[in-house]
Amino acid sequence: MNNRRNVEIVDIKQLSSDVFSMWVKDEEIASNGKPGQFASLYCNNETRLLPRPISICEINKDEGLVRFVYRVVGKGTKEFSELKVSDRINILGPIGDGFNLEGKNVLVVGGGIGIPPLLELSKHLDGKKHIILGYRDEVFLDDEFKQYGDVYVSTEDGSSGTKGNVIDAIVANKLLEDNEIDMIFACGPTPMLRGLKDFANKNGIKAQISLEERMACGVGACLSCVCKTKEKDHHTHVHNTRICKEGPVFYANEVEI
């Protein structure tokens, strides 16, 4: 991986009351980034020492641009939301091991702020794609997915799509009955991933899930970002693995969540 870089923001937009979309100019991630990988974004405020891991939402290889879509949940993401076009930000990436592009008839399942990385993924998957996007209430990015597959929405308050969660939407739309699904790709909050892991196992389908954990180094050195594993990990030699290095995407059955 290349050194941390100070990159320019070329576009920044608000997508919902607390979700922002930002395009930066970075040849490195634009040429080498893969769906499911992420970047470390550093705060300009020096009292905040640790990088914020943010997934690659989209890449524009020709123009050397990378898109991040993030929700304001704390001080760092608040700072990022206040950046303007031509401001600069330090980033490191692409980081981690992303999705394996496989399957002929697949479910792409995102929950909340887990949805953004699935956009670049959906661009690259061959075969039939059923894209299920779960929100609490406000929807974002759903329109942009429509060019890559059939989109189904769920909201907890029922304001759009199926009322309930992503599994309710999969069931309500008979996606398993009507298709021979051979892979599930998922990113979202842990309870959703846990639910999907069970759902995938019950239905005998393989699943790739993208996990989150607090990170300090973002390069595999500090062991803050680990997740429990079923087997002994080849690097750590204990039953846990580094999400920033071996992940963030894992086969659901390799990890304990």
Ligand X SMILES: Cc1cc2nc3c(=O)[nH]c(=O)nc-3n(C[C@H](O)[C@H](O)[C@H](O)COP(=O)(O)O)c2cc1C
Q: Which residues bind ligand X (CB under 6 A)?
A: 216, 222
Site string for ligand FAD, 60-79 (x = CB under 6 A): ---------xxx-xxxxx--
> Interacting stretch for ligand FAD, rule CB under 6 A, among 3-11, 22-30, 53-61, 129-137?
53-61
C-alpha–C-alpha distance, residues 107 and 50, integer Å: 34
Question: Residue 82: which residues within 8 A CB-CB, separation 6 or more?
Answer: none
One-letter amino acid at 22 equals M
85/223 with CB nearer ligand X:
223
Contact residue for another protein among 47, 147, 177, 202 (CB under 8 A): 47
Beta strands at 226-228 and 207-210: parallel, antiparallel or unpaired: unpaired
Binding site for ligand FES (CB under 6 A): 215-218, 220-225, 242, 244
CB of 198 to ligand FAD, least distance (A): 22
CB of 96 to ligand FES, least distance (A): 9
Binding to another protein (CB under 8 A) within 211-240 occurs at 213-227, 235-240
DSSP secondary structure letters along 5-61: EEEEEEEEEE-SSSEEEEEEE-HHHHHH--TT-EEEEE-SSTT--SPEEEE--EEET
C-alpha–C-alpha distance, residues 163 and 255, integer Å: 29
Q: How many CB atoms lie within 10 A of CB 140?
A: 22
Provide the binding-site residues for ligand FAD, judged by CB under 6 A.
Answer: 38, 50, 52-55, 69-71, 73-77, 113, 116, 212-214, 248
